[in-house]
Amino acid sequence: MNHKEHLSDKIDLEILSLMQENSRISNADIARVLKMAPSAVFERVKKLEQKKIILQYTTRINPAALNQNLIAFVYIQAYKGIGNSNTGIELAKIAGVQEVHQIAGDHCFLVKIRTSDSASLLEMMRNSMSKIADITITKTSIVLETTKEQQQLLIPKE
Amino acid sequence: MNHKEHLSDKIDLEILSLMQENSRISNADIARVLKMAPSAVFERVKKLEQKKIILQYTTRINPAALNQNLIAFVYIQAYKGIGNSNTGIELAKIAGVQEVHQIAGDHCFLVKIRTSDSASLLEMMRNSMSKIADITITKTSIVLETTKEQQQLLIPKE
DNA sequence: TAAAAAAAAGAATATTATTCTTTAAATACA
DNA sequence: TGTATTTAAAGAATAATATTCTTTTTTTTA
């Protein structure tokens, strides 16, 4: 039997929903919303952590405050076999690379990069990415404006 | 003078770094790491919130636990003028759309979608996206494997 | 250099987290 | 169907933290 990720019940989903919106909400406040004892909430949260349903509590920081206003998406073609996950791992190591996805179809990775400006992007492509063997950058899309950017999941009502 | 986003000093950066890794860290623990009083940490955190440098405290949830294993990137061409931001706003409203970026070059949006499976993706494209006037889906990339996916920013040491 | 402002420290209290014990509910199963 | 077993919740007690306020120190500025 799988001890890891069990489908959560309604109360767990409500807890996840509250915590996804505000991870610093107190157990006491969750308990008030759900009308149960704080100790019960505490135990459920611990279990969600143990089961790796909760992966991390994190803080969203304004990128402008840290001078990281440029987003780019880069398509990268890899000439190694499909089974080879090493290219993705190497790409993931590069500072500023936020996402690395292997894409269906054309042996491609899609990489999301966040950095300060186009000069810095160019430097990353020249210094870090070009060091990885057997890849070619096939297309680079620079973001002009971001309308929405979130990782939050849709949590079903029950 | 800009009251909103001031470049943070070294202590603020350390606080941001700790909180980005774990937003539930206590002020007391931050204070211990930085060797200062908890009340001072408390005040700095409040200021970072007020200045909108801290945008949100959130919880990363395992997508598998909520049956949301499929990621897709969709390129969408918009036939309206560049000044028109409405298309992006409409795309952002769709449930499951996590990111909407306007891309330099070809009047395009790049949209990141997270959903349960390809059937659900198809349904989104048919039911929600096709309702938006003046757009064409030019390319859809389905993700086979994600090596890295994070929004965390690189925080400079000082 | 003195005055003013900002940041930190320290102390006191309100609120929470956390642990442990008891009770209730759900489940298994003979 | 009833009983044993497990699981979840409640309740109570204490340890730890958040939060406020006052005082002190540091920094800024004029």
> How confident is residue B138, by pLDDT bands cut at 50, 70 and 90?
confident
Token digits of residue B42: 């408390």
Segment B97-102 shows an average pLDDT of 97
CB A152 within 8 A of CB A58: no
Coil/strand/helix, residue B46: helix
Length of chain A: 158
- Shortest Cα distance from B33 to chain A (angstroms)? 18
**Residue B83: its pLDDT value, please?**
60
List, by residue range, all CATH 1.10.10.10 domains of chain A.
1-60
List, by residue range, all CATH 1.10.10.10 domains of chain B.
10-50
Token digits of residue A156: 């079903």
CB A12 within 8 A of CB A44: yes
Segment B107-115 shows an average pLDDT of 95
**Residue A85: its pLDDT value, please?**
76
- B149 closest CB neighbour out of A63, A99, A150: A99
- Strand ranges (DSSP E) for chain B? 54-61, 70-78, 97-103, 108-115, 135-149
Token digits of residue B32: 């211990």
Q: Which residue of B has its CA nearest to A7?
A: B65
- Shortest Cα distance from A117 to chain B (angstroms)? 14
> How confident is residue B81, by pLDDT bands cut at 50, 70 and 90?
low
Interface of B with A in 24-83 (CB under 8 A): 24, 51-68, 71, 73
**Residue A150: its pLDDT value, please?**
95
Indicate yes or no: CB of B141 within 8 angstroms of CB of A23.
Answer: no
- Shortest Cα distance from A126 to chain B (angstroms)? 19
Interchain CB contact of B92 with A (< 8 Å)? yes
Q: How many CB atoms lie within 10 A of CB B154?
A: 14
**Residue A66: its pLDDT value, please?**
95
**Residue A4: its pLDDT value, please?**
37
Token digits of residue A30: 């969750």
List, by residue range, all CATH 3.30.70.920 domains of chain B.
63-142
What digits encode the pLDDT tens for the residues A126-142? 999 999 988 998 899 99
The gap between A20 CA and D21 C1' (Å) is 33
Residue A7 per-residue DSSP state: P
pLDDT at residue B123 greater than cutoff 60: yes
Test mutation, A101, A116, A152, chain B, max B CBs within 10 A:
A101
- Provide the b/e sequence for B98-108 (b: ≥16 CB within 10 Å): bbbbbbeeebb
Lowest mean pLDDT, pick from A117-121, B10-14, B85-89? B85-89
Domain B63-142, classified CATH 3.30.70.920, yes or no: yes
The pTM for the full model equals 0.91
Interchain CB contact of B96 with A (< 8 Å)? yes
Chain C positions within 7 A of any protein Cβ atom are: 7-12, 15-20
**Residue B134: its pLDDT value, please?**
86
How many percent of chain B have pLDDT more than 90?
Answer: 83
Indicate yes or no: CB of B7 within 8 angstroms of CB of A65.
Answer: yes
Architecture of domain A1-60: Orthogonal Bundle (1.10)
* Residues facing residue B59 across a β-bridge: A57
Q: What is the CATH number of domain B10-50?
A: 1.10.10.10
pLDDT along chain A (158 residues), means of 10: 56 98 98 98 97 97 96 91 79 97 91 97 95 89 96 90
Contacts of A124 in chain B (CB under 8 A): none
**Residue A95: its pLDDT value, please?**
96
- Strand ranges (DSSP E) for chain A? 54-61, 70-78, 97-103, 108-115, 135-149
**Residue B82: its pLDDT value, please?**
60
pLDDT at residue B158 greater than cutoff 80: no
Segment B10-32 shows an average pLDDT of 98
The CA distance from B148 to B155, in Å, is 18
Average pLDDT, chain B: 92
